[in-house]
Structure 1
């Protein structure tokens, strides 16, 4: 079927109009994570998370009608006891069914047709629709603009059609089936799910932080319990507000900007034809991986989800996408260096400034990108409450209860295992992943060094021939003297001023090289200055995601692998 443009389908970024491009809109957000180490779920975690969200009100934005927010939401574990109490049909055992909030058409006829088509796709993907539940909402709490854009919100419940002998399909195995259903629904039916999972449930919308709980009465029910929650207050960064682009997403919430997002998206699009996964099956009907017109946070979430469902752990996926600054750390563990070096051949860094919280329903954590230019503070209380947020003080707690506190550090991970009831330290996470496979051996087997290639035959051209070629390819006398000559003499990249008084290529009256028509895009945000040492160790690394002087052959098989990993 012929689909309308992505921005029309999901309320995403509209196309540029004249000299104004909506993709240039940027600012800041707020996030918080609340979890417990006690091992049991409770409504107090939901209450604490919503309190934190309300205290992050100043980090969100409000529209011209003073009642329409840029977006807010909460991601929790599936509240099994609550759902059993509010649905009028039987549910399988906890974990053996998936539930998600669907943003359906407001028109009843269109909504009925979409549901029928969704049931057909579910059957094709090995899923049975158990039933639908209309989510209680209070539109009167919203502003005029938010109400006008509000979809019909209903919960879908599904289970696996065919179950093997013994235990039913549940947990992440069921999520792999619902992932296929959700992706196909987005692509074929223009239907958006805030989440559809056996492990987590997302309530979100184009609301303010103060409106989220009143708008969704479910969140006030004492039976709604969880061991963890992630909340987010949105200030639209690189997209306009919309219901689907409110955060948290299915696995992450994000504060900041992904400066490299255009390149990251291009790389994902370039490798799509080579992606394969035995766990996820045929990926062609689910493409593209990254939804066109979505925000940088939404794109990041889609890639994290793909990597985890295809077999990697959540910390593994996050370390692939947000690596620490490892190249110039002289004292880094060789096994950890090999891990990062290997994965640099598979995935380029998604560089910020960015603070990211993430969860898969049992693990919940946070990290900063290697530049470390976004805030994140955490504390742990004597009764096992863990709170992490964009700022301190989002929950009112007496200091006598605090047994540990600190801040997120660049490239380091803060992780809570709610099943085991403990914090997992950064060194433990990374040491285990570094020892989980012979990354260094795979690198040695697969890497081709340019220095090992046979010498090329050098041909000396007469000066007239050289000059003719320079003119053909647009080299100026200034470039020859200031750029090329120093490179030939020293073998290093030359230094020069960044300013240019020449016309931009598109307005120039003279012939220009093709690459002059393209420029690097970055987020102009208020970041603190870096000292010269950090500038060398951290920022300069963002210019390359693979060591110089190397190229790569296909790497050994790993989950969600690409059949070719050449860069």
Structure 2
């Protein structure tokens, strides 16, 4: 805790945590390269970085919320973009609202995590709950026109006879008070209003690219039993990986079962050769939430993501959803081949070889990275929309650069 992280922030206050904050910051930083304005011109650079350094997750969220507000969007619309409902598998959601969320998912990723966020711009004051509903928010509306919201009931003394209505905020739902109209705006009413302002569904039909829409292109798998062992060793496969990880998946179609914990030496302290991937671990946010079952709570789970060039975040146009929708991050050989050879709605993919001659030793790594960057820049200048990094030329005399570096 420190004074510079004290709440409330400029537009919001927050109970909980944003678990995706590091990725959100990285993506907002990357988007600065395509943000441009005819009105501000070069002066726009004075707004960067959008996210101030050393902010808390609340301060970071507030920075981006303010930026979206300054683009001409309303407070409610900006919050809907940053904290969307679980819309992908919501069978009863209207098509209009679903199209709104899907369109904006192509523009920016959600800010996710157990969070109850209160926001205001002076004209409105409201609150929103994360899509999982992992933080409590309860409210009272009294006959003398007072609204009380807190994470628990009983924070203020309220005469039961004065209570007009009360309730709790539901996952992904928004609670909004309009000071000018002097009323509480229902979630469905305010979201349908914004969802119907533009033809999002039509834009998606015209511009969205899906893997299943690409022309099939079968490539030979290149399976060679004589080089199989050498290739597996090159990519770090072990007997344990084969026996306990892969075989249960293939034979029994189930996740492997194992005891918790890993007592092997971490990569930086190991005296054995280790893959570069072993030096990195997935961020894990342990919070006081119940376990989430991805089968029984499927409605809030999704692996979908959009890839490809992004557009200017200061605008809202049909071309903003002209991106490739991936159902999940794992591709089959046929899907990868279709992407590599795609020529669809103006999209093409460029394949870049990331292997080098083993005789070049350590110097070959830096030379190869420079070559990859140069080829990627040239591909962008030539109008390619996607870049595929390939290590398939690996062999006795060809060594791959780790894809983490590339």
| TM-score higher than 0.5 | yes
For residues 168-187 of structure 1, the aligned pairs below 5 Å read none
Q: Is the 1:326–1:332 Cα contact (8 Å) retained in structure 2? A: yes
For residues 74-89 of structure 1, the aligned pairs below 5 Å read none
CA distance in 2, matches of 1:512, 1:349: 34
- Residue 280 of structure 1, CA deviation: 6.0
Q: Which of 86, 94, 97 is matched with 1:325 structurally?
A: 86
Asked if 1:271 corresponds to 2:31, the answer is yes
Stretches of structure 1 lacking an aligned partner (at least 5 in a row): 1-239
Alignment match, 2:17: 257
Q: Is the 1:415–1:424 Cα contact (8 Å) retained in structure 2? A: yes
Deviations 1:515-536 (A, max 9, x none): 3222222332222344676533
In the comparison of the two structures, how many residue pairs are matched?
Answer: 320
- Residue 479 of structure 1, CA deviation: 3.0
Alignment match, 1:500: 262
CA distance in 1, matches of 2:211, 2:250: 18
For residues 134-283 of structure 1, the aligned pairs below 5 Å read 240-242=1-3, 244-277=4-37, 282-283=43-44
Given the superposition, is the C-alpha separation of residues 279 and 367 from structure 1 closer, same or farther in structure 2, using an over 3 Å criterion?
A: farther
CA distance in 2, matches of 1:362, 1:280: 26
CA distance in 2, matches of 1:442, 1:558: 18
CA distance in 2, matches of 1:323, 1:449: 22
Alignment match, 1:453: 214
Alignment match, 2:276: 514
Given the superposition, is the C-alpha separation of residues 475 and 533 from structure 1 closer, same or farther in structure 2, using an over 3 Å criterion?
A: closer
Asked if 1:468 corresponds to 2:224, the answer is no
Alignment match, 2:361: none
Deviations 1:415-448 (A, max 9, x none): 1111111111111121112211121222222222
Higher relative contact order (CA 8 A, sep 6+): 1
SS in 1 for 2:23: helix
SS in 1 for 2:206: helix
Q: Is the 1:474–1:511 Cα contact (8 Å) retained in structure 2? A: no
Alignment match, 2:239: 477
Given the superposition, is the C-alpha separation of residues 458 and 260 from structure 1 closer, same or farther in structure 2, using an over 3 Å criterion?
A: same
SS in 2 for 1:355: strand
Given the superposition, is the C-alpha separation of residues 441 and 500 from structure 1 closer, same or farther in structure 2, using an over 3 Å criterion?
A: farther
Alignment match, 1:537: 299
Q: Is the 2:118–2:127 Cα contact (8 Å) retained in structure 1? A: yes
Moved more, 244-253 or 297-306: 244-253
Given the superposition, is the C-alpha separation of residues 551 and 293 from structure 1 closer, same or farther in structure 2, using an over 3 Å criterion?
A: closer
CA distance in 2, matches of 1:386, 1:524: 33
Asked if 1:343 corresponds to 2:95, the answer is no
Asked if 1:525 corresponds to 2:287, the answer is yes
Alignment match, 2:374: none
Given the superposition, is the C-alpha separation of residues 389 and 267 from structure 1 closer, same or farther in structure 2, using an over 3 Å criterion?
A: same
SS in 2 for 1:384: coil
Deviations 1:229-284 (A, max 9, x none): xxxxxxxxxxx312x32111111100111111111111111222112345665431
Q: Which of 308, 311, 315 is matched with 1:559 structurally?
A: 315
- TM-score in terms of structure 1 length: 0.52
- Residue 395 of structure 1, CA deviation: 2.1
Given the superposition, is the C-alpha separation of residues 450 and 479 from structure 1 closer, same or farther in structure 2, using an over 3 Å criterion?
A: farther
Stretches of structure 2 lacking an aligned partner (at least 5 in a row): 325-406
Q: Is the 1:279–1:310 Cα contact (8 Å) retained in structure 2? A: no
Alignment match, 1:169: none
Given the superposition, is the C-alpha separation of residues 363 and 565 from structure 1 closer, same or farther in structure 2, using an over 3 Å criterion?
A: farther
CA distance in 2, matches of 1:523, 1:447: 33
Q: Is the 2:117–2:127 Cα contact (8 Å) retained in structure 1? A: yes
SS in 2 for 1:273: helix
CA distance in 1, matches of 2:182, 2:145: 8
Given the superposition, is the C-alpha separation of residues 488 and 392 from structure 1 closer, same or farther in structure 2, using an over 3 Å criterion?
A: same
SS in 2 for 1:395: coil
For residues 118-133 of structure 1, the aligned pairs below 5 Å read none
CA distance in 2, matches of 1:460, 1:531: 39
- Residue 352 of structure 1, CA deviation: 1.4
Moved more, 508-517 or 384-393: 508-517
- Residue 307 of structure 1, CA deviation: 0.8
Deviations 1:119-167 (A, max 9, x none): xxxxxxxxxxxxxxxxxxxxxxxxxxxxxxxxxxxxxxxxxxxxxxxxx
Alignment match, 2:148: 387
SS in 2 for 1:461: coil
Asked if 1:416 corresponds to 2:160, the answer is no
Q: Which of 50, 62, 67 is matched with 1:301 structurally?
A: 62
Q: RMSD value over aligned CA atoms? A: 2.9
Given the superposition, is the C-alpha separation of residues 356 and 500 from structure 1 closer, same or farther in structure 2, using an over 3 Å criterion?
A: same
Q: Is the 2:34–2:311 Cα contact (8 Å) retained in structure 1? A: no
Q: Is the 1:257–1:352 Cα contact (8 Å) retained in structure 2? A: yes
Given the superposition, is the C-alpha separation of residues 500 and 280 from structure 1 closer, same or farther in structure 2, using an over 3 Å criterion?
A: farther
Deviations 1:281-334 (A, max 9, x none): 543122111112110000000001111110211111111111111112122211
CA distance in 1, matches of 2:310, 2:293: 38
- Residue 483 of structure 1, CA deviation: 4.7
